[in-house]
Amino acid sequence: MKDVSFGQYYPIDSYVHRLDPRLKLLFLIVYIVCIFLANNFAALGVCAAVLIVTVIFSRVPIGKVFRAVRGVIVLIMITAVLNLFFYTGEGEPLWEWGILAIYREGIFFSVFLILRILLLVVCSSLLTYTTTPVALTDGIESLLTPLKWIKFPVHELALIMSIALRMIPALTEETERIKNAQKARGADFESGNPVKRIKAFIPILIPLLLSALRRADELGDAMDSRCYMGGKKRTKYKKLRFSWRDLIAASVGAALLAGVIVMRIFLGGIL
Amino acid sequence: MRIVAEHLSYTYDASSPFAARALDDVSLTIEEGEFFGILGHTGSGKSTFVQHLNGLIRLPSSQKRYRPKKGQALPVLRVGEFDLADKKTDFKALRKRVGMVFQYPEYQLFAETVRDDVAFGLKNFAEKGKMPTEEARTEAVKSALEIVGLDYGEVADQSPFDLSGGQKRRVAIAGVIVTRPEVLILDEPAAGLDPLGKKEIMELLHRIHGDWCKTIVIVSHDMDEIAENCTRAAVFSEGKVVMCATPKEIFSDEARLSALGLDLPLVAKLCHALRARGISIDCDDKTEDFVRAVLSLKEGGA
C-alpha cells in the first residue's frame, strides 16, 4: 500500500512546477499526439529529447521517474513480445517456429513500441509529479469551460474529481489502519493460496467501504450546511494566469508538433 | 510480560520529502502487572511507539534487508521472551499475547454477526490443526462479551452494525481480548465517548486488568483518565519520553507540564488551588481520594 506514491505530487519548486496547469495539460495532449504521429526513429528521438530536457528542468529525481515506469513494465514486455513474434514483415523471416516468426521489421517495430509507451508513461507521470491535484482539476475545469454551452456540468465534474483525488490519501491511511487492526487480531494477508488471500481481504474491504460511505455522507452534510452551490457565481481562490514561462513551453510544444509532422511527411517509414 | 525498549527511533517515509520523525531515541520499561499510561499531544509519537510493541511497526534490524549502521546505538525491544529486534521472531505468536485495540476500534468490525466478529481473532490465532471446537469458541466469545458488559444472548446473533456506538466499541474490545492476551494496549480507548461512556470503558478495563490481562497500556491525552487509572505513566513529546513516573509525581511538576503544553487533571488543579490558599491537602490525584481528603479536612479542621 505504501507504493501508491506512483504519480504523487513531488513538492519542490521548478520551472515545470510553475507552469500553468492548463498549459501542461495541453502540452501533454500535443505531446501524445506527437508520439503517435512520429513514424520513424528520428522523430521519436526528437520527442524523447524534448521529454528528457523537460525532466531535467522539472528537477524530479530520476529514480522517481523510473518508478513510474516500473508500474507498467509488464504491459510493455507483453506488447513488445507479442509484436516481436506476430509482426509479419516483407522478405524472409530471421527465425521461424510454427506460427511464430521474427522479422527484421518486427524487431524495429517492437523497439519502437517500447519507446512509445515509455515516453507516454514518463510524460503523463511528469504531469502529476509537477502539478498538485487541485491545480490539475482547476486546469481541467478551465479547459472544459466551453462544454458549458451544451449544458455539460463542468464545475460539478471538476468538484467530483478533486474530492476523489483528495480522498485517495485519506483512504490509503484508513486502509493501513484497518489492516493493522486486523493484523493485530491475527489476520494473515501474506500466506495461503490465492483464493484464501483474496478472502483475507474481506475484513479490510467491508470496514473500508463503510468508512468511505460515512465520509461521503459527512462531507455532503458539511457542504450542505454551508449552503454549497456549484455554479457561475463562485470565485476561485487561485486564479490561473499565463506567463512568459508558458509562452516558452507553448512554443516548444508547437515546434515539436510542426517538426514531427514535417519529419513524417519527408522521412516516412519506420527507419 | 515485561516490556523493555531502548534507543527506539522511527521516521515515517524516510528518504522522501515527506519524512517525519516520530520517535527519537525512546527508552522505556513497562513492568508486568502495571496499568501504564502514555500521555502526549497528537503527533508526539505515542501511537507509533505502541505499534512497535506487537510488531505492527518492525525494527529495522528485524527486516530482511538490513545492514547495521556504524556508530549508532542498536535499538532494543523485548516483550516478555520475544526479542523484536530479531528476524526470526514469530510475530503472530507475539500478537496473540499482546492485544492491541486501535483508536475507534468499532470501525474495524466487519462480520455478519457479533459472534463471528469476536471469534475472528480466535480462529486466526488457532494453531494449525488445533482449531478450538465450536463449544470452546462459543464459551470464549461468551465470556469475552460478558466481561465487556454485554449480554451474550442478546447481542451474539445481531449484526455489529446495528448496535449503538458504545456497544460497538465493547464488541471490538471483546474481539481483541477474546484470545486472552497477557498485555493489552489501547490507543485512546475512550475517545469520542460521553463522560458516562468513558467511565464505563475505564471500569471495564479495571475488570479486565489482573486475571484477564496482566498488563494494560493505555494511550491518552486526557490527563484525568491517566490520573484516575494508571499506576505509572510516561509523557511523550516530539518523539521523546520526557517524563516517566507515577501520575502523582508527573502532575506535581506543574511548571514542566505547562512548558510541554499539557494541562493538569482537574483534581490536581483543585489541590494546587487549595494549596495556594494555604490549605495543604495530600491526595493521589484521584477524585475519590480527593473527596475523602477534603471531607476529613472538614471534620478535623473546622
CB B219 within 8 A of CB B46: yes
In a domain, A200, yes or no: yes
> Above 60 in pLDDT, residue B162?
yes
B179 at interface of A, judged by CB pairs closer than 8 A? yes
A202 at interface of B, judged by CB pairs closer than 8 A? yes
In degrees, rounded to 5, the angle at the alpha carbon of residue A93 between the alpha carbons of residues A89 and A95 is 135
Beta carbons of A207 and B108 less than 8 Å apart: yes
| Range with lowest mean pLDDT among B122-126, B144-148, B217-221 | B122-126
pLDDT at A182: 92
Domain ranges, residue A223 = 2-266
Q: In terms of CA atoms, which chain A residue is nearest residue B100? A: A184
**Confidence at A3, pLDDT banded by 50, 70, 90:** very low
CA distance A184 to B102: 9
> Above 90 in pLDDT, residue B183?
yes
Beta carbons of A181 and B96 less than 8 Å apart: no
User: What percentage of residues in chain B have a pLDDT greater than 90?
Assistant: 35
| Range with lowest mean pLDDT among A19-28, B174-183, B257-266 | B257-266
| Range with lowest mean pLDDT among A67-81, A225-239, B81-95, B235-249 | A225-239
Q: In terms of CA atoms, which chain A residue is nearest residue B102? A: A181
> Above 60 in pLDDT, residue A6?
no
User: Mutating which of B110, B118, B173 best tests the A interface, going by the most A Cβ atoms within 10 A?
Assistant: B110
Beta carbons of B56 and A180 less than 8 Å apart: yes
Three-class SS of chain B: CCEEEEEEEEEECCCCCCCEEEEEEEEEEECCCCEEEEEECCCCCHHHHHHHHCCCCCCHHHCCCCCCCCCCCCCEEEECCEECCCCCCCHHHHHHHEEEECCCHHHHCCCCCHHHHHHHHHHHHCCCCCCCCHHHHHHHHHHHHHHCCCCHHHHCCCCHHHCCHHHHHHHHHHHHHCCCCCEEEEECCCCCCCHHHHHHHHHHHHHHECCCECEEEEEECCHHHHHHHCCEEEEEECCEEEEEECHHHHHHCHHHHHHCCCCCCHHHHHHHHHHHCCCCCCCCCCHHHHHHHHHHHHHHHC
In a domain, A271, yes or no: no
In a domain, A132, yes or no: yes
In a domain, A170, yes or no: yes
In a domain, A131, yes or no: yes
Average pLDDT, chain B: 86
In a domain, A18, yes or no: yes
Strand-pair partners of B76: B6
Residues of B in contact with A181 (CB under 8 A): 100, 102, 105, 108
CA distance B167 to B193: 11
Q: For B129-149, b where at least 16 C-beta lie within 10 A, e where not — what string? A: eeebeeeebeebbbbbbebbb
CA distance B112 to B170: 16
A210 at interface of B, judged by CB pairs closer than 8 A? yes
Domains and CATH numbers, chain B: 3-264 (3.40.50.300), 265-302 (no CATH)
* Tally of domains in chain A: 1
Beta carbons of A207 and B107 less than 8 Å apart: yes
**Confidence at A1, pLDDT banded by 50, 70, 90:** very low
A213 at interface of B, judged by CB pairs closer than 8 A? no
> Above 60 in pLDDT, residue A5?
no
> Above 90 in pLDDT, residue B141?
yes
Residue A10 — left, alpha, or beta (φ > 0 → left; ψ -120 to 50 → alpha)? beta
> Above 80 in pLDDT, residue A235?
no
CB A95 within 8 A of CB A101: yes
Beta carbons of B176 and A185 less than 8 Å apart: yes
pLDDT at B117: 93
> Above 50 in pLDDT, residue A104?
yes
pLDDT at B301: 57
In a domain, A50, yes or no: yes
Q: For B7-18, b where at least 16 C-beta lie within 10 A, e where not — what string? A: ebbbeeeeeeee
User: Mutating which of A185, A201, A211 best tests the B interface, going by the most B Cβ atoms within 10 A?
Assistant: A185
Question: Which is more confident, A207 or A8?
Answer: A207
pLDDT at B1: 85
In a domain, A105, yes or no: yes
Residues of B in contact with A213 (CB under 8 A): none
Beta carbons of B102 and A202 less than 8 Å apart: no
Residues of A in contact with B102 (CB under 8 A): 177, 180-181, 184
Question: Which is more confident, A15 or B281?
Answer: A15
Task: Write phi, then psi, for B244 (nearest 5 degrees).
Answer: -150, 110
